[in-house]
Structure 1
Amino acid sequence: GHFTLSAPTGTEPTLVFSSVGYEPLEVRAGSRSTLNVVRLKESATDLNDVVVVGYGTQRKRDITGAVGSITAEQVAETPIARTEQILQGRVSGVQVTQSNSAPGGGLTVRIRGINSISSGNDPLYVIDGFPGVGDLNSINPADIESIEVLKDASATAIYGSRGANGVVLVTTKRGKAGRNTINLEAYTGIATVRNKYKLLNAKQFAQYLNDVQTLTNVETPASARALPYTQAQIDALGDGTDWQDAIFQTGRTNNYQLGFNGGTEETRYNLSFNYFNQQGTVLNSDFKRGTVRFNLDRKISKKLSLGFTSQVAATGENRTLASTNGGSSGGVILDALRFSPINPVRDADGNYTYSNTPLPYVENVGNPVAYAEQVKNQFTTLRGLLNVAGNYEIVPGLTARVTAGV
């Protein structure tokens, strides 16, 4: 093409020409007013420009459908608990929202909006060529080589009606021939509640109860009651219990990854071990995941090759009791906003306090710390994945592929 650029006088700009599939070319303009760039050199080794699609791999410049790509480098630079999190803000037309704020909580993914009001809107997930793997929470993000999002009809056509809401292709890391490597990674982080509600302390709440009772006595003098607290009792209360401080904690996240990669031109392998532990910001809430993945590729002959993919993942969740009902079925966070600051967490005998406040405040609210520490809401999942694929080159450009998996 022909381009016209304006540059400040007295400078010697350097122009950079780049295109997908070609090596960048830098040209110093100097004092010249006209430049002729005839040809860019093709980049045969730039793997980032190769995109996985439903029926194989293609170069970006050859793709006509709407496809978004995420590389292993982008996954590695962001510490995430779930695979879907890497899609947030990185692929156009993809909306990722958090449907559960618990550690390891679920995410909702929508590709190009909501397509149906009566059936599901989740995209189809395909892991290493096998569709319909279900929950991605068992996939270790560090094992991901690339993610492709197929968004339009031409890109998802091979999957039929299952791809109506879009397709997310996840390719895990495979062995690389030529050298054997050992990789050890670890990181840790913390999470805190940044903003808390400003609520009444014990003295202010006791005065509020007195004010309510005073107004009630004026309106219904026949059933007048004594004020719940004397002024001396109010002065002795102090700030009381901050129930938000009582249930919130500094959540810590730890991740450990050990990987082995290598092989020869005939046999390549990738073996990884991962342990992820995310502690929630609410007492007694956490998410743990341990995974072992082994990928093996074997070239039997010039035309025949086999691929073996396996993974075992165990996840454990300790969820916070969450509800908007209050009382015996209430949630920890909601009741922390409603339980009286006058009451301590435990009484003089060391037992949890459950009686909220004297009349007229009789809201049926439970002790949120007792809920967090005594109510068990635990889930454990063990998931195994085993896939085998065979590829046979019938003629150059035509390959038959047979897959089986459980």
Structure 2
Amino acid sequence: MTFLLFSGLGFSNGQVFKQKAEVELSDLIKKIEIKYDVSVTYESDISFKFTKKQVSVVLNKKTAEEALNETVKKKNLTFKKIRKDYFVLIKKGKSDNKTSEDQTSIYTEKTITGTVKNNTGDFIPGVSVIAKEDNSIAAMTDSEGKYIITVNQKIKTLIFNYIGYKTKEVVIGNQTEINVVLQEDLFDIEEVIVSGVAGNTPTKKLAVTVNKINADKLSEAPASSSASALQGKIPGILVKSSFGSPGSGTTIQMRGATSIRGNSPPLIIVDGVMVNTNLADINVDDIASYEVVKGAAASALYGSKAGNGVIVITTKRGKNLKESFKIRVRNEYGISNLQNELNLATHHPYQLAADNADFPYTKYEGVTYDNNGRVISGSRLLTDSAYADQNYAIVRDQQKEFFKQGKYYTNYFSLAKKDNNTNMFLSFENHKNSGIVFATEGYSRKNFRFNADTKIGKYISISTSNMYMLAETDNPGTSKGFSDVLFVQPDVDLNKPNDDGSPYHYK
């Protein structure tokens, strides 16, 4: 008898037959997983073969359970349903086998809930809850310190971790609710800076010098403006007022005078936005932190405008609260006076007119006056000795007339609130500083700020930062008026009106 095989066909005595094909268990399981969208696992030593007819019968079943029932029929196998979409094949009589137990235990899940607090009883949001045996299983506490994590039976320990607190490990055991108290770890905090183009970077790894001031440090020595708040708190930074009058601009130098005129201001960024404004117009009570970046390398982070350094200001938001609701009210009132007066001359070296005693002003020889005592022509003549020993007709305290007692006040109100998905910060400030120069109103400012963050669904977050500011300034304009007072004659009445009725004539 002779057989010829060709493409799966055989010939015997003129008769044709098909070669019998078989399917491995692994291939059948793959087909079941694809058709019924389930997962099936089994021990590696389980191996069976199936005919195409048997495979067809299995795959014609309506459900995965019916298909698996047909698969294990007459195979000394059984299966166990772990969850809706997961099954395990097990040899009959060996359900207590360690391997089988390991396979089923991996997919037997339970949910653990709980809260995380600090040692003062406050809830801690943002705590990482990680399975020690599998870092891919993790959760995070919400704004109320609550967490939910689902683990399988292979996970024995949970790790609770948060910056500024000691890491804590808790054995799960039979617990389904685990409440944790974390202890502060003040000696294991490494400062992290959020740079302009990179993620969180440890300070020691930065190529630039970064100094940070938070709200707690600002409150230790309250400042009248956001510019003066930097003075004395950061080494190497010089903050000075341009003219000294209320609300006047400030000059901030981080790297010395890098231009001929000494005008080398740093770049100012408020809540991620570059601004071109006077720092005096920003309410210091709304500031959560300053980050001052010094060095020319700051240009690599913020561009060419940052060549003289960068001041990054972050304003307060509701999400930074430890509690869910906070109201803050601050009222401040004070007075200001000229600290010192200079001793000015009360005599002069000029010749007095013969009829000087008949006039309410000092009349000099060689000068022609009108009826109001104003000079028409001529010039004063020195005495022979040129000593300043001649009396003025009247001596006024010009410094006392020019300067007054100034008053300043600040009324501030803020409201902060947060919940699971939304937080907000609202503030209003009314500030007034009259200054110490007579006939001027000084500087007044009204600030309104509204910051909010909200989360919509799982992937969308919306944040807004808004500020409205109205500032009014009524100052002498420059410091020249102060020097003029020092050189004006002491018999001049600064309050005497001009000929046209406008106030304050003096020569």
Query: What range describes the TM-score normalised by the shorter chain of this pair?
Result: 0.5 to 0.7
1:68-103 Cα distance to aligned partner (Å, 9 max, x none): 111212333444343221221211222222222111
What CA distance in whole angstroms lies between the structure 1 residues aligned with 2:433 and 2:275? 27
CA-CA distance at 1:297 after TM superposition: 0.6
- Code of the residue aligned with 2:195 in structure 1: it is V
Picking from 291, 299, 305, the partner of 1:162 is: 305
1:321-364 Cα distance to aligned partner (Å, 9 max, x none): 5464xxxxxx3x23322222224445xxxx4379xxxxxxxxxx
- Code of the residue aligned with 1:243 in structure 2: it is Q
Picking from 370, 376, 386, the partner of 2:504 is: 370
Partner residue of 2:289? Answer: 146
What percentage of aligned pairs have identical amino acids?
A: 28
Picking from 340, 343, 350, the partner of 1:209 is: 350
Residues 337 and 406, structure 2, Cα contact 8 Å, conserved in 1: yes
Counterparts of 1:64-83 in structure 2 under 5 Å? 64-83=207-226
Cα pair distance change 1:321/1:84, threshold 3 Å:
closer
Partner residue of 2:338? Answer: 193
Picking from 403, 410, 414, the partner of 1:248 is: 403
Picking from 269, 275, 287, the partner of 2:424 is: 269
Cα pair distance change 1:54/1:89, threshold 3 Å:
same
Structure 2 SS opposite 1:370: coil
CA-CA distance at 1:131 after TM superposition: 1.4
CA-CA distance at 1:61 after TM superposition: 5.3
Partner residue of 1:311? Answer: 467
Count of matched residue positions in the alignment of Structure 1 and Structure 2: 294
Structure 1 SS opposite 2:216: helix
CA-CA distance at 1:250 after TM superposition: 1.5
What CA distance in whole angstroms lies between the structure 2 residues aligned with 1:301 and 1:85? 42
Partner residue of 1:259? Answer: 414
Cα pair distance change 1:236/1:305, threshold 3 Å:
closer
Structure 2 SS opposite 1:209: coil
The answer to whether 1:335 aligns with 2:478 is no
- Code of the residue aligned with 2:332 in structure 1: it is Y
What CA distance in whole angstroms lies between the structure 2 residues aligned with 1:299 and 1:71? 26
Cα pair distance change 1:269/1:59, threshold 3 Å:
farther
What CA distance in whole angstroms lies between the structure 1 residues aligned with 2:380 and 2:443? 52
Structure 2 SS opposite 1:316: strand
Picking from 293, 315, 336, the partner of 2:449 is: 293
Cα pair distance change 1:42/1:73, threshold 3 Å:
closer
- Code of the residue aligned with 2:327 in structure 1: it is I
The answer to whether 1:53 aligns with 2:223 is no
What CA distance in whole angstroms lies between the structure 2 residues aligned with 1:256 and 1:45? 39
Mean Cα deviation higher: 139-148 or 192-201: 192-201
In the superposition, the TM-score normalised over structure 1's length comes to: 0.63
CA-CA distance at 1:115 after TM superposition: 3.3
- Code of the residue aligned with 2:468 in structure 1: it is V
Residues 195 and 301, structure 2, Cα contact 8 Å, conserved in 1: no
Partner residue of 2:314? Answer: 171
Mean Cα deviation higher: 98-107 or 151-160: 151-160
Counterparts of 1:1-12 in structure 2 under 5 Å? none
The answer to whether 1:184 aligns with 2:325 is no
CA-CA distance at 1:142 after TM superposition: 0.8
Residues 345 and 353, structure 1, Cα contact 8 Å, conserved in 2: no
Mean Cα deviation higher: 112-121 or 92-101: 112-121
What CA distance in whole angstroms lies between the structure 1 residues aligned with 2:380 and 2:334? 56
Structure 1 segments unaligned to the other structure (5+ residues)? 1-20, 25-39, 218-222, 228-233, 325-330, 355-366, 373-406
CA-CA distance at 1:130 after TM superposition: 0.8
What CA distance in whole angstroms lies between the structure 2 residues aligned with 1:270 and 1:94? 30
1:268-288 Cα distance to aligned partner (Å, 9 max, x none): 000000011011111114000
- Code of the residue aligned with 2:274 in structure 1: it is P
Cα pair distance change 1:187/1:149, threshold 3 Å:
same
What CA distance in whole angstroms lies between the structure 1 residues aligned with 2:200 and 2:288? 14
In the superposition, the TM-score normalised over structure 2's length comes to: 0.51
Cα pair distance change 1:337/1:308, threshold 3 Å:
same
Residues 412 and 428, structure 2, Cα contact 8 Å, conserved in 1: yes
1:93-152 Cα distance to aligned partner (Å, 9 max, x none): 222222221111111111222334489621111000111343333211110000001113
Mean Cα deviation higher: 310-319 or 136-145: 136-145
What CA distance in whole angstroms lies between the structure 2 residues aligned with 1:61 and 1:102? 41
Cα pair distance change 1:44/1:307, threshold 3 Å:
farther
Residues 150 and 156, structure 1, Cα contact 8 Å, conserved in 2: no
Structure 2 segments unaligned to the other structure (5+ residues)? 1-162, 167-182, 355-363, 366-378, 384-389
Mean Cα deviation higher: 246-255 or 176-185: 176-185
CA-CA distance at 1:155 after TM superposition: 4.3
Residues 285 and 320, structure 1, Cα contact 8 Å, conserved in 2: no
Partner residue of 1:85? Answer: 228
Residues 351 and 380, structure 2, Cα contact 8 Å, conserved in 1: no
Aligned-residue Cα RMSD (Å) equals: 3.8
Cα pair distance change 1:335/1:93, threshold 3 Å:
closer
Structure 2 SS opposite 1:274: strand
Cα pair distance change 1:209/1:54, threshold 3 Å:
same
- Code of the residue aligned with 2:476 in structure 1: it is T
- Greater C-alpha radius of gyration: 2
Cα pair distance change 1:225/1:156, threshold 3 Å:
closer
Partner residue of 2:136? Answer: none
Partner residue of 1:122? Answer: 265
By relative contact order (CA 8 Å, sep 6+), the higher-ranking structure is: 1
Structure 1 SS opposite 2:300: helix
Cα pair distance change 1:224/1:312, threshold 3 Å:
closer
- Code of the residue aligned with 2:293 in structure 1: it is L
What CA distance in whole angstroms lies between the structure 1 residues aligned with 2:248 and 2:345? 31
